[in-house]
Structure 1
């Protein structure tokens, strides 16, 4: 998540709240912890929520230097491949994070 914060088009565009936190329970009581733990959730200011692979194009469109990649998600074949790749990464996120964590400055 730190990488996303570092590349956001402006500071504060993303806010990260742990699924298991009291803050999440207070601010988003309708978001069940089980659902939150299953996949990444993106909650817009109006309360609209995206989950899992739906989140990726939205995040990419808000990253400096990566916004052009959001066009790829509009192409059906490429979109399918990217979503399959996302699913593979998401299924192995805890293992992958252990390798990436040392590479990201605090």
Structure 2
């Protein structure tokens, strides 16, 4: 996928090899202004944008909200990926979820 290639180029995504999730937040101008806005567009853009985008994003937000509301989520292991059509984790995902009660 060309987006995977673009997201690994320093000219479009500075410090591409580092895990900096803040780079995608619009509220973090230090990181977000340095990353090209069209590097990743999973739902497309413009008149040909995916019709299900809003529904998919709403479902993702609802799921993440429920998980964060009910659990403390930790991940203290190195995550290894393999690049095929998408990036797929090859190491086990060892999330630690502690019930908030």
Both proteins in one fold, TM over 0.5? no
Max Rg structure: 2
Normalized per residue, the structure richer in strand is 2
**What TM-score results when the alignment is normalised by the length of structure 1?**
0.29
**What TM-score results when the alignment is normalised by the length of structure 2?**
0.30
